[in-house]
Amino acid sequence: MPLVEVTYAPTVPEPRLRELGEVLPHLVSLAVECAEEPYDGDLQPGDVEIRFRPLGPLDRSGLAVVIEIKSKWTADREADRQERVDELHAGIHAATGLDDFGVYLSLPSAAWSQGD
């Protein structure tokens, strides 16, 4: 279950952020798909958690949007993580037209429990 945090500048229009929120669950799921956690295209509540936050007055960023993704480490993901994040970046650009953004993929050792 990836956790996604989107930090954005005040210059990014809300419709663009809504569009980003619509496409990210699918694109992120494709980017982190692996043998241990296959993606069947049928996202359920809790499969991808996305949080949006505006840049604060003390934050410093050279990009209009920074997308940080945390997904549990697996050998599959580790082996080609740069290709995964490059393809994700290209997919986001193609789907939204965003230009001034970066994507950070972190693969920590982690566990998740959601219950029933």
pLDDT tens-digit map of 78-107: 999 999 999 999 999 999 999 999 999 999
Instruction: Break the chain into its structural domains and give their ranges.
Output: 3-106
Q: Are strands 101-106 and 3-8 parallel, antiparallel or unpaired?
A: unpaired
Q: What is the mean pLDDT of residues 107-111?
A: 80
List pLDDT tens digits, range 21-38: 999 999 999 999 998 888
Other CB atoms within 10 Å distance of the CB of residue 78? 11
In CATH, the architecture of 3-106 is 2-Layer Sandwich (3.30)
Of all helices (H) and strands (E), which one includes residue 70?
A: strand 65-70
